[in-house]
Structure 1
Amino acid sequence: MAIAKHEKWSSGATFLLAAIGSAVGLGNIWRFPYVVGENGGGAFVLLYIGMVILFGIPVVMTELLIGRRYQMSPVNSLATIGADKPAKRLWKALGWSYVLVPIGILSFYGVVAGWTLNYVVKMGSGSLSGVDSAEVEAIFGGVLSDPVTMIFWQTVAMLITMGIVARGVKGGLEKAVEILMPALFIILIALVAYALYAGNVERAMEFLFQPDFSKLTARSVLEAAGQAFFSLSLGSGAIMTYGAYLTKDISIPKMSCGVAFADTLVALLAGLAIFPIVFANGLDPEAGPGLVFVTLPIVFDSMPFGQFFGMLFFLLITFAAVTSTISLLEPMVSYLEERVPHMRLKMTLLAGAGTWAVGILAALSLNVMSDFKPLGMFRTFENMGIFDLLDYFSANVFMMLNGLLIAIFAGWVMKRTALLEELGLADSWLFKFWRLLIKVVVPIGLGYIFWDFITA
């Protein structure tokens, strides 16, 4: 069956904005600060940066080159390349994993995006003003315990996502990132400046950049690798799908380094926007996900111009969420559009509705279904509902498993000439170094992390 052709990015700069938008999301601004806090600060930051360099950049390059090589969705790209290779069923299954995993991520990601939309309204309307810690905790607890509120805001987030994706590459994805990404960076810089003015900068810098390796555990290694993959959108199909819309004149190595650099920069800036305020107010950096939705609203309320900057903060998280949700929905829409050409709107509604339905289960697992623990028979997962399981397995298991398999595929299955042609590095030391990483370092490193995780 002939595969429908996809639109292309207008320019390398537009692609870079879109790819950065995919990578820069809740993983950087919501998840990164509390994961750093839970794992002791500076040592974890160094470990995370090391994971981005050793694993992240090589896998970004790999996913982009595979996407651009055949200019199709992950399912059809991997099925085409692996058709005459050993274990061809495995590679086709990997393609499906690259399409289904983002649906799993988006199902809980959409719920959190709904929280951020809700809090933009709450902060802007003043309903979080003049409240103490018990009251703001009760407000957040009320949001989580109210299935109607949760589903309403999750639905709004998904409708925004579907509205952008339905308009296509040039009319939807490009226009969205051209507006949202500059706005995101401007708001983030403003919040960092505000935190440096009003917060405890010295303590925050010490926490973020002075490593204490005694605080690292085996779980920290897994979480650092998981955070690198989650933050860069690796193993989720987003980068590979965006690569399919990439023209041949754009340098994949340069774009990959640009995405990784920008993504890491935003994560560190998010830490600088949050931790000075955390330490200035005697808050616990290990407060977990509640750090953003419970403790920071109280802090903003007690600071000069706090309501305005608090609203900006949640607007920032919302923009970051949207640039990621559109990239997570796109792989499935891309595949469906190849099957049924010229029906993008209907395919977007189909993929979006399915994701929304799974997201409802994730939302309900935080309230009316909170007693349902699907994997409660295992000690590690005995307290995890559907929402927690989707988060845990997406970031720490399936995204890295996809990355491990795609590294093996590129390093040991794809032809060397195809790799050289797509990367445009000639037979240089840089190509040999990348191939060493993708053939040996990434598989062994991720394989060891998985083994340690399974046997822990």
Structure 2
Amino acid sequence: MTRATWRTRVGFVLAAVGSAVGLGNIWRFPWLTAQNGGGAFLLLYLLVVVLVGVPGLLGEMVIGRRSGRNPVGAFGTLGGDRWRPLGGLALFASVVVLSFYSVVGGWILRYTVASATGAYFPAPQEYFAAIDYGVGAAGFHALFLLATAAVVYVGVDRGIEVATTVMVPGIVLMLGGLAVWAGTLDGATGGYEFYLSLDLAYLRANFFDVLGAAAGQALFTLSVGAGAMLTYASYLGEDRSLAADGTLIAGLNTGIGVLAGLVIFPLLFSLGVDPGAGGPGALFISLAGAFASLPYSRLVGIAFFGVVLLAALSSSISIYEVLVSYLVDEHGASRGGATAAVGTLFLVTGTGAALSPSLFTLLADTIANLALTAGLLGFLLFDGWVLGRLALEEYELGAGRIATLAGRPWFVAIAVILPLFLAFTFVTGIGGVVGVTPTAGQSSAIAVAVVGGCIALFSRRSRA
């Protein structure tokens, strides 16, 4: 069976940007920023994207292009069957993420439709409470999942590439227009100050909490750790520069996230709404309720939630494709059969999250962050200690002179430095789950021990 490929570089970059853009940028990013000090969070987030996200993204893409396979097949092809469970971790992370992601996608679909009538304007909190979980939420989750499946079914070049080539520019144009409009509102200056000014006292007092939130957001929004970028890179040819493409993807994704903040915070401050209120429901309560007081409120609602819906679809498509590619590559399934099988799985898991607030919260707030962090940690250790020089060779294929010069520093970073950071983040996250918060020194010591043990294990198994 001939494996699909991207038709153009622009198509691949926009598809990957579409995977990274999404609810992470427009739903998750603003409320995490609000709850973690505004500019303090933004600063650490940008640093984590540059120092961790971009090298990690390249590490995942190296495995994908080198193998030309899905996550499970990639590790089996490059390292032998003993490494296939590492790809299984990526599949697990994908299932976790899309199981709650599709529920939120259903909320957005419902709000896009409801904006035409202004149904949520009179009592936004009561409206969201009535539709967030239950049979109705399960139904809209299914509709959102069906739209995702339809694009994936058509294929990589004719479905995903074509759809995201339309979606991503549409997202940028609509967000840009909303940002310009939001800047004309009275009180918008307060939103800019909150979002862009740095409170050093807050940052010093809450550094590790803000860093953990920024790291989790960076991994979530760059779509690393779940195998989506690995899968997309597996459809690439050797003439592409991974360094150039990966940096461009991360830059565009981060720019869209920052742009979303330039829409949301000026709008909230102009309407006197506390930016930290509402948590994960802020987009649907604080912001949606505020639309009622604006001129052309229904059109504003349709435009805003239309942007969010496009972003959510572009991301869900990439996560869905991870499991479809696994069934096609490893089990010889047809794309239609694989799409139907994966859809059935997510219909069940997503319905569970739509009916159970506790399950939704567990998936979205805890398991997803831990799974993505563990997934990327495994990818990078595999690059550094199993592939070794082959990872560096893959990185250098198609790279220009500047990217090639950065190859060795990149390799050192993914083999040692970034795994230590990811292990520290993982240990801190586990501590939060079990209710025991280790000190920075304790977390660092545990992280060093974990990475050291993993390096010894990976090195020994690679020689076996």
- Residue 136 of structure 2 corresponds to residue 149 of structure 1: yes
Deviates most, 218-227 or 197-206: 197-206
Report the Cα distance in structure 2 between the residues aligned to 1:318 and 1:214, rounded to whole angstroms.
Answer: 37
Q: Which amino acid aligns with 1:19?
A: A
> 1:32-431 maps to which residues of 2 (within 5 A)?
32-83=29-80, 89=82, 91-129=83-121, 131=122, 135-145=123-133, 147-216=134-203, 217=206, 218-287=208-277, 288-341=279-332, 343-366=334-357, 385-424=358-397, 425=399, 428-431=404-407
For residues 343-397 of structure 1, give each alpha carbon's deviation from its aligned partner in whole angstroms, at most 9, with x where no partner exists.
111111101110110111101113xxxxxxxxxxxxxxxxxx1101111234421
In 1, the alpha carbon distance for the partners of 2:186 and 2:232 equals 39
Letter in 1 for 2:196: F
CA distance in 2, matches of 1:454, 1:415: 29
2:459 paired residue number: none
Change (3 A) 1:82 1:12: same
1:427-446 matches, within 5 Å, as 428-446=404-422
SS at match of 2:184: helix
- 2: CA distance, partners of 1:428 / 1:178: 29
Aligned-partner Cα distance in 2 for 1:213–1:239: 35
**Contact 1:19-1:259 at 8 Å conserved across structures:** yes
In structure 2, runs of 5+ residues without a counterpart are 432-436, 438-464
Q: Percent of counterpart pairs with the same letter? A: 36
Structure 2 Cα separation of the partners of residues 449 and 340 of structure 1: 35
Q: Is the 8 A contact 2:370 2:429 kept in 1?
A: no
CA-CA distance at 1:295 after TM superposition: 1.5
* Displacement after TM superposition at 1:282 (Å): 1.6
Is the 2:41–2:210 contact (alpha carbons within 8 Å) kept by the matching residues of 1? yes
Letter in 1 for 2:415: K
SS at match of 1:166: helix
Number of the residue aligned with 1:375: none
Amino acid corresponding to residue 49 of structure 2 in structure 1 = V
Contact 1:16 1:255 in 2 (8 A): yes
Paired residue secondary structure (2:406)? helix
Structure 2 residue identity aligned to 1:100: F
Q: How many aligned residue pairs are there?
A: 425
Deviation at 1:74, TM superposition (A): 0.7
Describe the shift of the 1:10–1:31 C-alpha distance in structure 2 as closer, same or farther (beyond 3 A).
same
Distance 1:17 1:226, change over 3 A: same
Aligned to 1:370: none
CA RMSD of aligned residues (A): 1.6
Whose helix fraction is larger, Structure 1's or Structure 2's?
2
The aligned amino acid for 2:306 is L
What CA deviation, in whole Å up to 9, does each residue of 1:272-313 have, x standing for no partner?
Answer: 100001111221111212221012122212112222111110
The 10-residue stretch of structure 1 (276-285 or 340-349) with the greater mean CA deviation from structure 2? 340-349
Partner of 2:423: 447
Displacement of 1:118 after TM fit?
A: 0.2
* 8 Å CA contact retained: 1:229, 1:395: no
Structure 1 stretches of at least 4 aligned residues deviating more than 4 Å after TM superposition: 425-428
Counterparts of 1:452 and 1:99 in 2: how far apart (Å)?
23
**How far is the alpha carbon of 1:37 from its aligned partner?**
0.4
SS of the residue corresponding to residue 110 of structure 1 reads helix
Structure 2 Cα separation of the partners of residues 8 and 178 of structure 1:
15
Separation in structure 2 between the aligned mates of residue 238 and residue 453 of structure 1, nearest angstrom: 23
2:14 to 14, 17, 22: 17
Match of 2:116, SS state, is: helix
State the 1:76 CA deviation: 0.6
Q: What's the offset of the Cα at 1:100?
A: 2.1
By how many angstroms is 1:339 displaced?
Answer: 3.2
Range with greater deviation from structure 2 (351-360 or 392-401): 392-401
Against the structure 1 CA distance between its residues 167 and 440, is the aligned structure 2 distance closer, same or farther, given a 3 Å change threshold? same
Alignment check: 8 A CA contact 1:18 1:173 kept: yes
Contact 2:384 2:391 in 1 (8 A): no
**Contact kept in structure 2, 1:59 and 1:407, CA below 8 Å:** yes
Once residues 54 and 144 of structure 2 are traced to their aligned partners in structure 1, the CA distance between those partners, rounded to angstroms, is 30
Partners of 1:388 and 1:56 lie apart in 2 by 25
Residues 144 and 71 (structure 1 numbering): CA distance in 2 closer, same or farther, change over 3 Å? same
Structure 1: runs of 5 or more not aligned: 367-384
Letter in 1 for 2:384: G
Cα 1:428–1:142 shift into 2, 3 Å: closer
CA–CA distance in structure 2, aligned partners of residues 402 and 16 of structure 1: 22
Amino acid of the structure 1 residue aligned with 2:170:
A
